[in-house]
Amino acid sequence: MLISIIAAMSLNRVIGESNRIPWYIPGEQKRFKEITWGHAIIMGRKTHESIGRALPGRTNIVITRQQNYSAPGCIVVCNLQDALENCPLNEAEAFIIGGEQIFRLALPLAHRIYLTTIQQEIEGDAFFPEFSPTEFKMIQLEHIEAKLPYTVAVFDRGVSASH
């Protein structure tokens, strides 16, 4: 199973502010939905609460240290390993969808990163972690002209990683 991270950040790596995403880009949301549709999506408890519901058409997996945490329509687990083990048996690609804490946990295990970069500095309090350009190679890059212009890139871990 491929472990992929999917995230959107600003030029200064902001992904969130006060437990929400500080921009609204319809095309970017559509892309997120298309890429993750039908797959397992793994998220931290704060991101789940920020979304406010289970996202349809996907196996929602929420990571929390709280015992008895209830998240209707979601599988609740207490660590990343359990999250990966709770993906459907035939899952080809599982998506880590945030937030910062879970991106940091998942980065060492990730095979692929789908990264949108909004071409502007934006204030926030949650960030996408730095990753090494020697570990991850950009395999796709597209510039999107919009009210808030952004790029969408895909990075794959080098061949030395175990897939």
Ligand X SMILES: NC(=O)c1ccc[n+]([C@@H]2O[C@H](COP(=O)([O-])OP(=O)(O)OC[C@H]3O[C@@H](n4cnc5c(N)ncnc54)[C@H](OP(=O)(O)O)[C@@H]3O)[C@@H](O)[C@H]2O)c1
Q: Which of residues 113-132 bind ligand X (CB under 6 A)?
A: 126
What is the three-class DSSP state of 153? Answer: strand
Q: Find, among 140, 163, 133, 158, the residue nearest to 31 by Cα.
A: 140
Given candidates 12, 79, 81, 120, which one binds ligand X under the rule CB under 6 A? Answer: 79
Phi–psi pair at 61, nearest 5 degrees: -125, 125
**Residue with Cβ nearer ligand X (47 or 60):** 47
What Rg value do the Cα atoms of the chain yield, rounded?
15
Min dist. Cβ of residue 149 to ligand X (A): 16
Given candidates 25, 63, 110, 154, which one binds ligand X under the rule CB under 6 A? Answer: 63
Given candidates 3, 4, 5, 15, which one binds ligand X under the rule CB under 6 A? Answer: 15
CA 126, CA 17: separation in Å to the nearest integer? 6
Min dist. Cβ of residue 70 to ligand X (A): 11
Q: Which residue has the tokens 């207490």?
A: 78
Assess 65 for contact with ligand X (CB under 6 A). Answer: yes
CA 146, CA 69: separation in Å to the nearest integer? 39
Which tokens in the block code for residue 68? 């008895």
Min dist. Cβ of residue 97 to ligand X (A): 6
Strand-pair partners of 118? 10, 150
Pick the piece of the chain touching ligand X (CB under 6 A) from 17-25, 84-92, 136-144, 155-163: 17-25
Whether 107 contacts 135, CB under 8 Å: no
Assess 106 for contact with ligand X (CB under 6 A). Answer: no
Min dist. Cβ of residue 25 to ligand X (A): 10
Assess 78 for contact with ligand X (CB under 6 A). Answer: yes
Which amino acid does the sequence have at 20? R
Residues that bind ligand X (CB under 6 A): 7-8, 15-16, 19-21, 43-47, 50, 63-66, 78-79, 97-102, 105, 126
